[in-house]
């Protein structure tokens, strides 16, 4: 039987970290999962190979043995048997009947693994156990989207959503970002033969409001200002996401002037009590449909 390169199957190098192996496994498992590729023998075969590779590389002891012997795996078991006998002789003075299987527990069966795996790791019946076990497949991860508006994220709130006919109650954190994804463990597709269920990933769609543009936790909007107030100054009322506020306008305010309203943005994600700011930009509106008298007054102003 041929040597199997588990690193190649997962698409990682031999120095890959535990996190990189886990990420690679999840990516490949999703790609070849039977739920995604129904009635596809080739995908099922590759899915089994991915699970087998993960079985070895995600287990520090199995990975250590695999790396130690590599393509010389045929001689590995004989070498380890010799090491065990020497260890037993030192411990028991040559006697004793203790049997060491290298710390690997295969539940009395080889599982749905290759002959290479069973030969290298002793996956066949140990001590009289019987038969091959049915494959255990972790459930498929699922994805869903949830659309909110800016006012929905002003405070944390509980909401119930329905995914595949099942009601799921979740807490939406205040200030969550557009496009952000949260994971709900165990609410994906069911596992097979006692394997765990997959996870549910919810992506949030929070478009800009008709009046407010969001950048991080800050909000931006334009506000109209009539010419007379811009010239003479005065007081106006402006809308925010949480209500109306009164603003004083200084005499001679120019078009494009920006005003910051501190703390009138959206909550900062997962930082309780912190808020962004609201920035207002004044658009000075010129008067239209002037009467003759009003035109005369502007002409006098122009001459002066």
Question: Rg of the chain over CA atoms, in angstroms?
Answer: 34
The pLDDT tens digits of the residues spanning 128-172 come to 333 344 566 788 888 999 999 999 999 999 999 888 788 888 899
Where do the domains of the chain lie?
A: 6-121, 142-205, 213-303
Domains 6-121 and 213-303 alike in fold: no
The pLDDT tens digits of the residues spanning 189-233 come to 888 777 888 899 999 999 988 899 999 999 999 999 999 899 999
Residue 25 confidence (pLDDT): 92
Residue 297 confidence (pLDDT): 84
Q: Would you tell me which CATH number, out of the four given (3.40.50.720, 2.60.260.20, 1.10.3190.10, 2.60.40.1120), belongs to the domain 213-303?
A: 2.60.260.20
Determine if the pTM surpasses 0.85.
Answer: no
Task: Write down the CATH number for the domain with range 6-121.
Answer: 1.10.287.110
Task: Write down the CATH number for the domain with range 142-205.
Answer: 2.60.260.20
Low-confidence ranges of the chain (pLDDT < 50): 75, 78, 89-111, 124-133
């Amino acid at each position: 039987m041929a040597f199997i390169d588990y690193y190649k199957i997962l698409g990682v190098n031999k120095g890959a970290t535990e996190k990189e192996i886990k990420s690679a496994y999840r990516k490949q498992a999703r790609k070849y999962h039977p739920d995604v590729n129904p009635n596809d023998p080739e995908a099922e075969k590759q899915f089994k190979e991915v699970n087998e590779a993960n079985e070895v590389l995600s287990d520090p002891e199995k990975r250590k043995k695999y790396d130690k012997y590599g393509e010389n795996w045929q001689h590995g078991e004989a070498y380890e048997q010799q090491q065990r006998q020497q260890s037993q002789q030192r411990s028991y003075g040559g006697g004793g009947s203790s049997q060491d299987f290298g710390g690997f527990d295969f539940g009395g069966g080889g599982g749905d693994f290759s002959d290479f795996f069973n030969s290298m790791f002793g996956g066949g019946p140990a001590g009289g156990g019987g038969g091959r076990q049915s494959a255990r497949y972790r459930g498929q991860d699922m994805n869903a989207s949830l659309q909110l508006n800016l006012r929905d994220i002003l405070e944390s709130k509980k909401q119930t959503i329905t995914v595949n006919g099942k009601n799921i109650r979740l807490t939406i954190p205040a200030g969550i970002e557009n496009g952000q994804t949260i994971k709900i463990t165990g609410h994906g597709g069911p596992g097979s033969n006692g394997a765990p269920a997959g996870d549910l990933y919810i992506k949030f769609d929070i478009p800009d409001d008709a009046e407010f543009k969001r950048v991080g936790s800050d909000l931006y909007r334009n506000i109209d200002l009539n010419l007379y107030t811009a010239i003479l100054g005065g007081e106006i009322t402006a809308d925010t996401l949480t209500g109306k506020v009164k603003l004083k306008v200084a005499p001679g305010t120019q078009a494009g002037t920006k005003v910051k309203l501190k703390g009138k943005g959206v909550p900062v994600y997962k930082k309780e009590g912190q808020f962004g700011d609201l920035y207002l930009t004044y658009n000075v509106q010129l008067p239209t449909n002037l009467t003759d008298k009003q035109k005369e007054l502007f002409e006098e102003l122009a001459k002066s």
